[in-house]
Chains A and B, each alone.
Chain A
Amino acid sequence: MNINATLLNYYQLCHRKMWLHYHAIRMEHTSEVVYEGKLIGEESYPFRADKNEELEISLPLENEKVVLTAKIDFFDAKRGIVHETKKSAAKEWAHVAQLQFYLYLLQKNGVEVSHGVIEYPKLRQTERVILGEADVLRIEASIEKIREVLEQEQCPLKLPISKCKTCSYFEFCWVGDE
């Protein structure tokens, strides 16, 4: 079982969303937002076109049944800084959590890390992210819970509809018998 930052993010949003995504029942192809996101990732910082800075990293957990994986867009190995660009017009907790997950993976792999930086081109702002001890515990607890949910045969229940309005699975989850 591979667990990545997307699953971690979905775990915090909705267990059902995470379960469906993990089983490749995906809706992102219907969403324009993702497409836009891709473009910004590719074009905002053309000087980083050097793909050597990209980093794929993984970490098998003890039982080897679970492997944590990440694709880091830009890692400055000299200074130990992870960079991430977000097209979002607002800062989000999920962005921080994603970077902390990257820092955690690097650290566990014995890589010297300092901190992470999230760039918000639309806001013309950056956010500095560090990985504290409490964060490490939180990440480890989450991973354990994620594994439990993903191992379920059954898809988890829906959230209250008020939380679903902007979710890409909205129609999938809420279409009933009309």
Chain B
Amino acid sequence: MKKSYYLFNPGRLSRKDNTLCFVPVDEDGNEGQPRYIPIEGVDNLYCFGSLDANSAMYNFLGKNHVSVHFFDYYEHYTGSFMAKEYLLAGKMQVEQTRHYLSDKKRMVVAKTLVEGAAFNMSKNLKYYQGRGKDVAKQLGQIDSFTPLIANAGGISELMGIEGNIRQAYYGAFGEIINDFDMGNRSKQPPQNEVNALISFGNMMCYTVCLDQIYHTQLNPTISFLHEPGARRYSLALDLSEIFKPMLVDRTIFTVLNKKQLQASDFRQDINRCVLKEGAKKVFVQAFEERLKETFKHRSLGRSVSYKHLVKLECYKLQKHLLGMEVYKPFKMMW
């Protein structure tokens, strides 16, 4: 099983035969103990500290289809190194484009994505309602917006409905999370701890979706709900709508309510709330564990991990675009 590697410390990454070698470098330029990672075991790299590397290393990663995702000091996702596209399929590209170009076909996919996202958001709230949290009001709001999805006349109207649902959903976070307030959702920049975690988690989810798309024949730049170009790999934005409630939000609730993260793990910078170094590690680890969690997939009758579930979602989308089976989004059942 290939693994994701997270590089938090600054250092130098190089190729040593068929192995990656990471040498941490501290603030004074002193080199630490090198760490060797055999390439066959690497799924992708997440780079949070500054990284020194040469083109030989990137060529090596590219050949092995390993991507590198970069984050800046404020945990912003800044971009990815993706190996040259390796699973091209003309028919797939043509059909994906055709579905984007036809308003009617595009709306079908976009609505399905929003419906899936809305379902999973309300599932999260119901789960916590079952555990004594008073989120009836927000659930009611989501329920009243959801039927509008089917009748949305265009993408911007659909986005508006999605925005309303999400706003209602985030309104319940304060009730679900014990010791922190959420306030309003503030993205750029996040103003408090919960918002900082949401932004960070959403980026992690985006990169997971991007990685999985990359291992299929889908083109990550052609999307349906989001406008292509909203981000370079806008299809990853589309897919993350489905998975954010399950992968990101649940992880946030857990790490905060189990007090794995506390107020002291955050720092208030000039006009933003920032996760301290240790907080990032805690969150990333909890997120990784979430991805590795497995469950028995009903239609496959096999045990699959949440991470793999994202790939399966890509398959369903491919089948829809090829006219094989109508796409039904993943719906959380628990």
Contact = CB atoms under 8 A, between A and B. Distances in A.
A137 B201 CA distance: 61
A58 B87 CA distance: 25
Contacts of A124: none
B324 A155 contact: yes
Interface stretch (A36-44, A46-54, A170-178): A170-178
A26 B319 CA distance: 13
A31 interface: no
A175 B324 contact: no
A141 interface: no
Contacts of A155: 322-324
B232 interface: no
Contact of B331 (A26, A154, A170, A177): A177
With most chain A CB atoms within 10 A of its CB, the pick from B88, B300, B318, B329 is: B300
Contacts of B319: 172
B299 interface: yes
B322 A175 contact: no
B215 A23 contact: no
Nearest to A154: B323
Interface magnitude class on chain B:
20 to 34
B155 interface: no
A172 B315 contact: yes
B231 interface: no
A172 B218 CA distance: 13
Contacts of A153: 323
Contacts of A174: 299-300
Contacts of A170: 300
Nearest to B304: A171
Interface stretch (B89-97, B103-111, B161-169, B264-272): B89-97
A171 B328 contact: no
B215 A30 contact: yes
Contacts of B215: 29-30
Q: Which of A153, A154, A176 has the most CB of B within 10 A?
A: A176
B299 A175 contact: yes
B87 A29 contact: yes
B217 interface: yes
A46 B315 CA distance: 39
Given A155-B322, A171-B315, A172-B319, A23 B328 contact: no
Nearest to A175: B312
Contacts of A89: none
Interface string A96-139: 00000000000000000000000000000000000000000000
Contact of B318 (A29, A30, A172): A172
A30 B217 CA distance: 13
A26 B87 contact: yes
A34 interface: no
A24 B90 contact: yes
A57 interface: no
A25 B328 CA distance: 20
Contacts of B331: 177-178
Nearest to A155: B324
Contact of A23 (B92, B300, B312, B329): B92
Nearest to A156: B324
Listed from nearest, the 7 A-B pairs whose CB atoms lie closest are A177-B328, A24-B89, A176-B299, A23-B91, A175-B312, A172-B315, A155-B324
Interface of A: 23-26, 29-30, 153-155, 170-172, 174-178
